[in-house]
Structure formats: structure tokens, C-alpha cells
Amino acid sequence: MKIVLTGFMGSGKTAVGRELGRILGYPFVDTDDLIEEREGKPISLIFKEKGEDYFRRIECETVKEISLKKNIVVATGGGVIKNKNNVENLSSGGIIIWLKAEPGIILKRIATEGGKRPLLDVEEPLEEIKKLLAEREGSYKQADVVIDTNYITPGETAREIMEKLSLDMQEVNVDLKDRSYKILIGRRLIRNIGLRLKEFRPSRVAIVSNKTVFPLYRDIILGSMDESGIVPEIFLIPDGEEYKDSLWASHLHGELLKARFDRDSLLIAFGGGVVGDITGFVASTYMRGIKYVQVPTTLLAQVDSSVGGKTGVNHPLGKNMIGTFYQPVFVAIDIDTLNTLPAREFGAGMAEIIKYGIISDSNLFDSLEKDKKDILSGGKGLLKAIRRSCEIKAGIVSEDEREAGLRAVLNFGHTIGHAIETATDYRRFLHGEAIAIGMCTAAELAVKQGMLDKEAVSRIRGLIGSYELPVKIPGDIPAEAMIDAMEIDKKVKSGRLRFILPESIGSVRIVEDIDRGIIREVLEESKSN
């Protein structure tokens, strides 16, 4: 993100800009310094020798060049924001912040700063400052954020900006060339979501959510939009997997058309995986694709469905069969939203986090064992586990966006998990719970195949069980029904039954064509009594 600081001299642009740059690790530039460097002389001399028009032209060129940079803190000279083109250039991909101060305080600051300030050379400097401020106020008001700097230090101002823009969060990059985006992870993110949207300058914004989640966060999210001058449309779908279908997608398309959303509009998916999948699908198909943002509110959606750009709806003949690969412009994971998530849903998300540990990171697995108490109480351990999970998924997606190969490892536990879901008509278990059983059973299958030692299986089962997740196949599900379900599962490629099996904790391998007799044996042995 580009952070642009504007304001009168003495408002602290340089000190605040330096501090922000230091905290964020972004370069800090001052447009006046750049111009002086470019021209090889002080601004006063440029004015004197070549006139104001010349200076403003160079200023516009400098601003245009800076505007192409992404992660940078920019302090602007007093006149920059007076020019419409400059404001447009700086706003694209950036947030403009007005550091505001009262005339008396400005005078005090520039007097104590020392140096030659022409403003102090007039007879009534305070009156001069008041006059100039009144003249510029209209331009400053174009800023996206106003920070009152009167009684705070530059350090405090920088911290206030960090908080307002939710910059004190963690970031994970999903690297997909021109479709790359960031996953922002932190607390209080939805309180500032409006400001984050400004970076994309959408013509219209709609929040797509459901009737359970939206009322819980309505005031916070609408308050944030209001603060940023955004008046969103709100489209709510009923709560439930059964509404993730083409009828509801078509209804949403219709609402967007009725509200005259154009190609520069933006959708916010605010909810769990159901809301995320259908919103992404609608965004990808409306007018051949408009921007969307994922704001996942279930743990499963935060670590899995919101990352990677798989969108879709269900069809009567198959789950998730109609869909697209379409990446959001960013993902904002506000872990405070998990406070209202039912415990069983939280557990289902934990199954996916455990999956990441088993498929690619034994350290994550270790910390899930060690930090269980902290994770369950929503402490730092949870933030760490979510972040690591997103990193792992982002890494895999970056290498294999369209599931041509590597991405398949994300399906660890899914072959058996899906079979359990099908055999129980998707009614008995949440997806994550079925995957939990699927992972334990796949680990047993790996032992049978001579790939994994027994100690690893008992650690896997122990960890999954410790998060209150099921580890055994219910005794009443016939093994044959599960095998039948596996055969018709969409992951059976060219007639081959495919399993992702662990070789150790932190590493998996794709194994095909396992003898059906062995599979049946493992399924029987993995049943609860």
C-alpha cells in the first residue's frame, strides 16, 4: 500500500513519514526533496529562476513517477494536493492522510524547528498561517483520513495511522504474478475495512453475507464503511450449504443488475465458506468479472476456502461442480470474528490447520500440540497457526493455481472424508469433522502400505482427538458404501482411486491404485465399536 501524507508545514509529515517507513519497512520519500535532487537546487531557487509554473510541472511528473510505486510512504509538498491529477495519481493504490494541526501549534513547531522558513519572515506569521490554511482546507479535505496531530508526538501519530489502517496486522502474500494479493491477518480488521477498500477506488460496493453472520457485525462493518464515505448495498442469503446454488447466484446477479453495479464495482464476501464461494463465483461471472474481497468469518474459511480463488456453487448432481478459479483483491482475516463462532465450527477449522501440519510442516504440528490451550482461548498461538496455514496454502496455490498437480496434496484426508460425508448424506458431520476421520484413516492406510510408522499415527490421532474432533469411522457405516462413494468421487481421475498419504508428519505423497481389499480392511479396522 502507498501511504501519502499531506498537510501544512509543521504538521509533522517528515517525522511521521520516517517513523511509518521504519515500522513498515517501506521507503520514505518527500516530493520536495525529490524535486530538489532532480533539479540540483533548492525549491526557492527553482521558483526564483524558472517560476511557479515550471515547478508545478516538475512536481506533477515527480508525483506521477512515485504513484507507480507500491509499498512506500510519501510526504507531499503543500501544493501537491491542490492539483486534481496529483490527487488521482496518489489515490490509485494509495491512501491519502491529512495531518491536521491548529495555526498556533504550527507556528510554534516551525519556530522551534529552526531553519529558514519564509513564512516566519512576514509581519504577522500567525495570520499568514491562518490565511493559507483557510485557502488549502478544501484541498486537504480530499484526504481519505484525517489525523489530529495537535497534542501528539510524531511517534504517536504514526501509531495512530497504523491502527486506523489496520497496518499492525500480519501479511501473507499469494504470489500469482498480476493477480497476486495479500492476506491480512489480525484483530479489529473489520473496524477499518472501509478504508482498505479505498485503495481500490470501487464505483460501488456490496456486502454479501448471510442472515446469521451479518447481524452480529452489522454495526461494526457499516460504521467502518460510513467513516470512509462508502454506502454499500447489503445482499443477504439464507444460512446453509443448500443455498450455495445457481438459483441464489442468479438472484445475486439480478440484485447487482437492479442496483446498476458496473465493472468497477466490488463485492465483499462476509461470512464462512458458503458465502465466500458463492460471492467469488458471482464476482467472477458478473460482467465477466468484478473485484471482490474475502472477509472470512469461520476458521475453516480463514485458513482454507478464502485463500486460493476456488469459487463455486453446488449442482443437484454434485457439490462444487459449477465454479471458477478467480482470485480476490485481498483477504482480510479478522480473528475477533471467531469469538462468535460455535465451538463445533471452530473444531472443523482446526482439522484443516492440523492438515497443513501433516502435509507440510512438522513445526506447525508440534506447536498445535504444545500451544493447544492458547489456541483454544484465541491467543497468539491461534494467530500464529492461522498465519502459518495461510502461508502453506498460499505457497501451494502460487505454484499450482488451477490444481494441475501439487494442489492435490491439500486433499489429504478428503478421499475418505468425502466418502464418509456421502455415506452419511452430508448430515452427520461437518466437513472438517469428516476430514478429521479421513486423515486418521489415511494415516492408518499409510502404515499398511509400509510408508509411515505407528508412532506417527498415534500422534496424529492424539492431536486430532485433543481438539474434540472425531477420529474413528462410525460403526454403522458399511465399508462397501464408502468404497462405492470413493469410486464416484470427482477425484477419481481416469478410473484411478487416489490417496494422499503421509510418509512422516510434515510430508505426504500421492498414491494410486491401492488394492481395494487393503482399503476395505483399513476402513473396517478404523471403525468405532
Catalytic residue positions? Answer: 288, 310, 352, 393, 403, 407, 411, 414, 418, 431
Per-residue binder mask for ligand NAD (CB under 6 A), 334-373, x = binder:
---x--xx---x--x-------------------------
Q: Quick one: cell of 279? A: 460471492
Q: Spell 141-150 as b/e; 16+ CB within 10 A means b.
A: eebbbebebe
Per-residue binder mask for ligand NAD (CB under 6 A), 233-252, x = binder:
------x-x--x--------
Q: Is 320 in the site for ligand NAD (CB under 6 A)?
A: yes
CA 115 vs. chain centroid, Å, equals 45
Per-residue binder mask for ligand NAD (CB under 6 A), 158-197, x = binder:
----------------------------------------
How far lies 20's CA from each of 30, 153, 339, in Å? 13, 13, 31
Is residue 235 within 8 Å of 215, Cβ to Cβ? no
The 3-state secondary structure of 109-153, one letter per residue = HHHHHCCCCHHHHCCCHHHHHHHHHHHHHHHHCCCCEEEECCCCC
Q: Is 417 in the site for ligand NAD (CB under 6 A)?
A: no
Q: How far apart are CA 414 and CA 490, in angstroms?
A: 11
Q: 76, 210, 294, 526: which one contacts ligand NAD (CB under 6 A)?
A: 210
Stretch that binds ligand NAD, among 28-36, 118-126, 266-274, 440-448 (CB under 6 A): 266-274
Is residue 251 within 8 Å of 309, Cβ to Cβ? no
Q: Is 304 in the site for ligand NAD (CB under 6 A)?
A: yes
Q: 6, 62, 294, 297: which one contacts ligand NAD (CB under 6 A)?
A: 297
Cβ atoms within 10 A of the Cβ of 496, count?
9
Q: Is 300 in the site for ligand NAD (CB under 6 A)?
A: yes
Q: Is 213 in the site for ligand NAD (CB under 6 A)?
A: yes
Between 76 and 311, whose beta carbon lies closer to ligand NAD? 311
Smallest separation (angstroms) from ligand NAD to the CB of 60 = 44
In terms of Cα–Cα distance, which of 429, 391, 390, 437 is closest to 412? 437
Between 89 and 337, whose beta carbon lies closer to ligand NAD? 337
DSSP-derived letter for residue 204 is -
Stretch that binds ligand NAD, among 157-165, 245-253, 298-306, 365-373 (CB under 6 A): 298-306
Q: 298, 327, 411, 415: which one contacts ligand NAD (CB under 6 A)?
A: 298
Q: Is 324 in the site for ligand NAD (CB under 6 A)?
A: no
Q: 212, 228, 466, 507: which one contacts ligand NAD (CB under 6 A)?
A: 212
Q: 6, 67, 279, 305: which one contacts ligand NAD (CB under 6 A)?
A: 305
In terms of Cα–Cα distance, which of 396, 5, 394 is closest to 185? 394
Between 31 and 224, whose beta carbon lies closer to ligand NAD? 224
Cα dihedral sign, 115-116-120-121: positive
In terms of Cα–Cα distance, which of 167, 173, 210 is closest to 187? 167
Smallest separation (angstroms) from ligand NAD to the CB of 210 = 5
DSSP for 408-456, please give it.
GGGGTTHHHHHHHHHHTTTTSS-HHHHHHHHHHHHHHHHHHTTSS-HHH
Total site size for ligand NAD, rule CB under 6 A: 28
In terms of Cα–Cα distance, which of 35, 36, 32, 29 is closest to 4? 29
Smallest separation (angstroms) from ligand NAD to the CB of 306 = 8
Between 244 and 461, whose beta carbon lies closer to ligand NAD? 244
Q: 185, 282, 301, 446: which one contacts ligand NAD (CB under 6 A)?
A: 301
Q: How far apart are CA 435 and CA 412, in angstroms?
A: 8
Q: Are strands 266-271 and 291-296 parallel, antiparallel or unpaired?
A: parallel
Within residues 428-467, the interface with ligand NAD by CB under 6 A covers 431
Smallest separation (angstroms) from ligand NAD to the CB of 383 = 16
Smallest separation (angstroms) from ligand NAD to the CB of 421 = 10
Between 341 and 392, whose beta carbon lies closer to ligand NAD? 341
- Provide the H-helix boundaries in 228-329: 246-258, 273-285, 299-300
Amino acid at 86: N
Q: Are strands 310-315 and 291-296 parallel, antiparallel or unpaired?
A: unpaired
Stretch that binds ligand NAD, among 178-186, 296-304, 371-379, 495-503 (CB under 6 A): 296-304
Q: 12, 194, 272, 417: which one contacts ligand NAD (CB under 6 A)?
A: 272
Binding site residues, ligand NAD, CB under 6 A: 210, 212-213, 216, 239, 241, 244, 271-275, 277, 297-298, 300-301, 304-305, 308, 310, 320, 337, 340-341, 345, 348, 431
